[in-house]
């Protein structure tokens, strides 16, 4: 009985993620795989944030790479041009991003559905354009190098160390996400998703909670962007590109909207699959596209929720 | 002083007047019915009073405070809640979670505390769930607590909406066709629930087509026709009013209402 109760707890998932992060390195044969795992964790962090917005609060964003890019350039521009220590630039970037999401979110979150999608798309394109055009600050289309992350005397460098930093951050991020979902705030998010009218009548200030979801998801995305830049040691405007925004959405939808585990699985699929498909050479993208179509046809709710429903039906 | 007062409410949609100078007042513990043919403006009236629509003119007061034009969530804070004719259930949540959302205004809404699930948040979650379970039991849905709302039958969802609205601890509760689609047994249960709510001092305003239910439980009945007030009075007065019979009740429904009363 107690085992079942522990498994039913939403925190069981957080513990499972932590276990995977801790155990996985023993099964990774080389640094190349450690690098891939690190990229999965970092992207999963961004997707987790986007999923809070899209999967739980039901608000679409096609411009989330704007926040990802903002994080990446915060840790590039801050230390290089302003002489700020990179860990302060990282925190500053996340806070700045929250502020921008707050200011931009207020007007655009009044929009719904397609209109919100287009407005967030515009936000993403605008950010990408600014990054590409401010050559003096960002190096323009060529990008710029990112100094290593140094926290006091601790130099965060190498795939191994970044594996642990990103893994720990993902576990922490999943824990915070579960906390939120299991709180009045999370219930407000989900209520807005299902019926804005009912949510309003029950006293939920929907503008406030949509904005909260937007700001929180922006902070996740910014942190992930900063990590990727610090990990790679270099940034290009690609970090904030339209394609990047779409990738995040695809990861969330493929893994499962409204599923914490789905965010991670979605990120893993979209990062690992292209690596596996390199055997197809020129046809790589065609095969990737086909796989995605097949996934969505047979697992329409996303991988994790669809499989969970299947298992429940089998065992019932 | 009336708990809810509506004065001279008018609204038009694209030149068509949907409500024209409608007014009434409701006292605490009242059961007040609004009836009329389809398109008479009953749901429009509810939508204005609950803040979903803004009236062209007129005033709504709650406990004497002018609340005209306030947003729905601000009205909820002042003690007004409602259910919907065409269900507005949170279908991706369980029954008990639906009702838990109704506790929103009575919970600590500090998002930063929710980030880290402080012990106070956990204790509050437990208390909220307990209160929600009590309300589900009150409307006869105790055994459905952990089922997804999407799996519940129509009649149960109607009662789920009532439990959810009650979770806000309203002073005024608007019920939009609570008995629609319910079988006679379920209608009886809703009858009992409404009486219980009113006995607790809550003013109940309902729109309902089930004349037996309306005539049986309402202390006052307000009749609308083409957006205008036809008459208002107790069941006996309304039932005997020739204008009401002509516009709405008809001779058959009139007889049915007679039976319900007798």
Chain A positions in Cβ-Cβ contact with residue B89 (cut-off 8 Å) = 194-195, 198
For helices A65-82 and A113-133, the axis angle rounded to 10 degrees is 20
B149 and B233 inside one domain: no
- Residue in A closest to B85 by C-alpha: A198
Mention every residue, 6+ apart, whose C-beta is less than 8 A from residue B254. B239, B245
Q: How many angstroms away from the CA of B155 is the closest CA of chain A?
A: 18
- Which of A185, A187, A193 is the closest to B111 by Cβ? A185
pLDDT per residue as tens digits for the range A188-203: 999 999 999 999 999 9
- Show which residues on chain B lie within 8 Å of chain A, measured between beta carbons: 50-52, 71-73, 76-77, 81-82, 84, 88-93, 97, 100-105, 107-109, 111, 113-117, 121, 124-125, 128, 164-165, 167-168
Q: Which domain holds residue A104?
A: 16-240
A286 in any annotated domain: no
A195 in any annotated domain: yes
B67 and B120 inside one domain: no
Lowest mean per-residue pLDDT among A18-32, A242-256, A274-288, B75-89 = A274-288
Chain A positions in Cβ-Cβ contact with residue B105 (cut-off 8 Å) = 202-203
Cβ proximity of B145 and B152 under 8 Å: no
Chain A positions in Cβ-Cβ contact with residue B73 (cut-off 8 Å) = 200-206
CB atoms within 10 A of CB B1: 9
Best to test chain A binding among B43, B49, B72, B84 (most A CBs inside 10 Å): B72
Residue B258 has pLDDT above 80, yes or no: no
A124 — pLDDT class (breaks 50, 70, 90): very high
Residue A255 has pLDDT above 90, yes or no: yes
Number of structural domains chain B divides into: 2
Residue A1 has pLDDT above 50, yes or no: no
Last residue of a domain, one of B110, B139, B169: B169
DSSP string, A198-222: HHHHTT--HHHHHHHHHHHHHHHHH
Cβ proximity of A52 and A46 under 8 Å: no
Q: Which domain holds residue B137?
A: 88-169
Chain B positions in Cβ-Cβ contact with residue A176 (cut-off 8 Å) = 115-116
Domain containing B55 — which CATH number? Answer: 3.40.50.300
B165 and B50 inside one domain: no
Last residue of a domain, one of B108, B139, B169: B169
What pLDDT was estimated at residue B232? Answer: 94
Residue A4 has pLDDT above 80, yes or no: no
B71 and B194 inside one domain: yes
- Which of A185, A200, A204 is the closest to B114 by Cβ? A185
- Which of A176, A182, A188 is the closest to B104 by Cβ? A188
B204 and B179 inside one domain: yes
B174 and B58 inside one domain: yes
- Which of B107, B116, B168 is the closest to A179 by Cβ? B116
DSSP string, B190-246: HHHHHHHHHHTT-EEEEE-S-HHHHHHH-SEEEEEETTEEEEEE-HHHHHH-HHHII
Last residue of a domain, one of B139, B169, B199: B169
CB atoms within 10 A of CB B77: 14
- Residue in A closest to B78 by C-alpha: A203
Lowest mean per-residue pLDDT among A77-91, A236-250, B180-194 = B180-194
Residue B164 has pLDDT above 70, yes or no: yes
């Amino acid at each position: 009985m107690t085992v079942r109760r522990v498994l039913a707890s939403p925190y069981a998932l957080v513990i499972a993620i932590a276990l995977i992060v801790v155990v996985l390195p023993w099964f990774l044969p080389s640094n190349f795989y450690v690098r891939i795992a690190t990229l999965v964790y970092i992207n999963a962090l961004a997707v987790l944030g986007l999923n809070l917005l899209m999967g739980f609060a039901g608000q679409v964003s096609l411009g989330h790479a704007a926040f990802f890019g903002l994080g990446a350039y915060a840790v590039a521009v801050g230390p290089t041009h302003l002489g700020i220590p990179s860990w302060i630039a990282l925190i500053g970037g996340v806070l700045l991003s929250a502020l921008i999401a707050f200011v931009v979110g207020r007007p655009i979150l009044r929009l719904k559905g397609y209109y919100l999608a287009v407005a967030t798309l515009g936000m993403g394109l605008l950010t990408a354009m600014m990054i590409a055009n401010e050559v003096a600050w960002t190096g323009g289309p060529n990008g710029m190098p990112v100094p290593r992350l140094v926290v006091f005397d601790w130099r965060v460098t190498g795939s191994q160390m970044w594996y642990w930093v990103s893994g720990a951050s993902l576990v922490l991020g999943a824990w915070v996400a579960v906390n939120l979902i299991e709180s009045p705030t999370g219930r407000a998010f989900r209520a807005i998703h299902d019926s804005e009218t009912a949510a309003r009548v029950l006293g939920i200030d929907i503008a406030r909670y949509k904005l909260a979801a937007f700001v929180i998801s922006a902070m996740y995305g910014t942190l992930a962007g900063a990590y990727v830049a610090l990990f790679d040691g270099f940034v290009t405007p690609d970090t904030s590109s339209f394609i990047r925004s779409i990738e995040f959405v695809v990861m969330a939808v493929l893994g499962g909207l409204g599923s914490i585990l789905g965010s991670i699985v979605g990120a893993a699929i979209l990062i690992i699959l292209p690596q596996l498909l390199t055997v197809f050479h020129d046809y790589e993208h065609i095969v990737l596209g086909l796989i995605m179509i097949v996934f969505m046809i047979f697992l329409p709710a996303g991988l994790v929720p669809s499989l969970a429903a299947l298992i429940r039906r089998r065992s019932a | 002083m009336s708990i809810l007062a509506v004065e001279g409410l008018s609204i038009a949609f694209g030149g068509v007047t949907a409500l024209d100078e409608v007014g009434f007042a409701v006292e605490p513990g009242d059961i007040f019915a609004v009836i009329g043919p389809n398109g008479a403006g009953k749901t429009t009236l509810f939508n204005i009073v609950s803040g979903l629509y803004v009236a062209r003119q007129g005033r709504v007061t709650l406990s004497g405070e002018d609340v005209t034009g306030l947003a729905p969530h601000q009205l909820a804070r002042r003690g007004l809640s409602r259910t919907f004719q065409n269900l507005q259930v949170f279908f991706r949540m369980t029954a008990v979670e639906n009702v838990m959302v109704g506790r929103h205004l009575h919970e600590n809404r500090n998002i930063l505390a929710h980030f880290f699930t402080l012990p106070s948040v956990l204790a509050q979650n437990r208390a909220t769930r307990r209160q929600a379970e009590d309300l589900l039991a009150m409307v006869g849905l105790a055994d459905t607590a952990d089922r997804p709302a999407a799996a519940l039958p129509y009649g149960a969802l109607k009662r789920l909406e009532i439990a959810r609205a009650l979770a806000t601890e309203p002073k005024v509760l608007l019920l939009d066709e609570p008995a629609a689609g319910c079988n006679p047994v379920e209608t009886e249960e809703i009858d009992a629930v409404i009486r219980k709510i009113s006995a607790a001092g809550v003013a109940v305003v309902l729109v309902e087509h089930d004349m037996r239910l309306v005539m049986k439980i309402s202390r006052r009945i307000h009749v609308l026709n083409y957006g205008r007030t036809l008459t208002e009075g107790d069941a006996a007065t309304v039932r005997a009013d020739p204008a009401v019979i002509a516009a709405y009740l008809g001779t058959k429904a009139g007889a049915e209402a007679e039976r319900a009363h007798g």
